Structure formats: C-alpha cells, structure tokens
Amino acid sequence: MPVIETRQLTKYYGKARGIVDVSLQVEEGEIFGFIGPNGAGKTTTIRLLLGLIFPTRGEARIFGKDAIKDGPEIRRHIGYLPSEVFYYEGMKVIDLLKYAASFYPGDHTKRLHELAEYMELDLHRKIEDLSYGNRKKVGIVQGLLHRPKLVFLDEPTLGLDPLMQRKFFDLIREENARGVTVFFSSHILGEVQRLCQRVGIIKEGQLIEVSDIRTLQQNNYKRIYVAAREIPSGYFDRPGVTNLEAVNGGVRFFYKGDIDAIVARISALDLIDVTIEEPTLEEIFMHYYE
C-alpha cells in the first residue's frame, strides 16, 4: 500500500490554477523528490495532502485513509516543515515545542531535546528574537519530535547555512533509514539529487514525469564531449543529437538514442579525448522546461 496516493488531484483558487490532475504514488520508506520552479504547485500539493486546503476535485489518500475526512488521525503520524515557518512570536522556543508536542500522544521530551541539541538550537530564546535560519531549526525540531512516519519538507534548506544543511540531510537520511517516508519538495535540483530515490517533476500545475532518479539520468540524455584532430562539419548532425556546440578544440552535445551507434561514429574519428557523462538533474530539468 502506498503511503501517499493521489488521483486526479486538482485545485483551483477561483479561476487561478493550483494543480491539475496530479496522480502520484509514494511508497513506504522512500525519499520522494518533488521538483519544479516556484509557482508550479508544489506547496499546493502539500497543503492538499495536509488537509489545509480542499481539492476542487480528485482525491488524496495517506496511509490508505482519506486525507480530508481522516485528516486529524493521519496528521498524528505526519511531520511538516513548511518553506517559511511562522510561530507565536511571544513564545519561548521550548514552550512552543512543548505546545506542539502536547498534541501528539506519548511523551516526546527526550526526542525534543535530542533534536534541539543536534540542530544546535537554543531553547530558551523567544521566537520573535530568532533569525530566519533559527526559526527553520525550530521547524525541523517541531516537524520531527513526535517521530512521524511521513515527513513533508517544503523547500527545507531555505535559510539554513551549508553546515546545517548537511546536518539536516544526515538527519533526514537517518529518519529514512528507520523507515520514515519523506516527501521532499524543492526547486534546488542538487539537493534532490543527493537525497532522493524517485522524483516527480511538476510544471504549471501538472505532474509531467515521475521516475527513478537513476533512470531519469541514464535513460535520458548523455552529455558527450569529443575532441579529435578533425571533425568534419555536420559530422554529428544526426537524430538524437541536440545542443551541439563547439568548445576548445572539440564539440559538446547531448545525445539520446542508441549508444552503440554514437560510439561507433565517435570512434571513426582520430580522437584526442572523449567524455560521456550522465547529465545533471539540472540539465534534464531544463529540458522539461524548454
């Protein structure tokens, strides 16, 4: 049974498009990357799954239960780190975290302190005195202190310095190793690439691709660089070759198609140097957004 399952999930804000017909499945124990530029519908999707907003049509199920009807019960096992965290300004961090913890059955004091120590969070300051990055840390602790089974991360690294980002990623990997499912929304592909096993790409409210991150890199494009004593002009004008450009003594291009054919073509040249690489997610992504 998938942890998250949506069918034709659609949200319009009046006439404005939120998301349209998003159908996806996230399996238990995976880290699912959800990528797309700002305004593509990432946050809308998460809010629908959390029951903060209501679908125009379609349905969402989490842990096999209806995301709206069984929302309160589902949310006991959900951790949510929004892209921007807002808490009651006048409260101390520790009071806020205890307040949040009080809504989840069980005692979470120990975990709360563990996480705070790990994230180097000062528990005795007031929320209003915290910097953006420190608020984010409060968000991380709050999102994880009740040991949720499913975690939503919406642009989680925004505001965290690189050191903290790394600690945070380690923390997420640790949680994931314990079986926690992670829904990771981001427009920064590098971090998705580092962390996720599968990705969904959302564009203008529509899910245009869901695939294994390896498959996405392997089955798609190769980035090829060829340097040779002589490359006749038009030598690489063949189907599957795109973005051909000349660079210091050679050519660089993307290739999609029969790898044997292109290698044969390359080897017929009097070669100096060759590299065949997988493209970065960034490059794949740009392709989807062309």
Binding residues for another protein (CB under 8 A): 13, 47, 50-54, 71-76, 78, 80, 82, 84-90, 99-100, 102-104, 142
- Of 112 and 199, nearer to another protein (C-beta) is 112
User: In which order are the strands placed within the sheet that holds 206-212?
Assistant: 78-81, 150-154, 181-186, 31-35, 198-203, 206-212
CA–CA gap between residue 65 and residue 232 (Å, rounded)? 62
CB of 76 to another protein, least distance (A): 4
Residue with tokens 């642009």: 155
Short-list 48, 52, 51, CA closest to 7: 48
**99 or 289: whose CB is closer to another protein?**
99
Nearer to another protein, 97 or 281 (CB): 97
In whole angstroms, how close is the CB of 128 to another protein at the nearest point?
11
Which of 151, 205, 212 is closest to 176 using CA atoms?
A: 151
3 state DSSP class of 265: helix
Q: Is 16 left (phi over 0), alpha (psi -120 to 50) or beta?
A: beta
Six-digit token string for 146? 């009740």
How near is the Cβ of 7 to another protein at its closest, in Å?
20
Picking from 130, 197, 68, the residue whose alpha carbon sits closest to that of residue 141 is 130
Return the amino acid letter for 149. K
CB of 73 to another protein, least distance (A): 7
Q: How far is the CB of 55 from another protein (least distance, A)?
A: 10
User: Least distance (Å) from another protein to the CB of residue 1?
Assistant: 21
Nearer to another protein, 46 or 196 (CB): 46
CB 167 within 8 A of CB 157: no
Residue number with CB closer to another protein (74 or 189) = 74
Smallest gap from residue 148 Cβ to another protein (A): 10
Residue type, 87: Y
Helix (H, G, I), strand (E, B) or coil at 82: coil
- What SS3 state is found at 62? strand
Nearer to another protein, 53 or 188 (CB): 53
Residue 273 DSSP class: E
DSSP-derived pairing of the beta strands 181-186 and 222-228: unpaired
Nearer to another protein, 47 or 222 (CB): 47
State the minimum distance, in angstroms, from the CB of residue 43 to another protein. Answer: 9
Which one, 79 or 279, has the nearer CB to another protein? 79
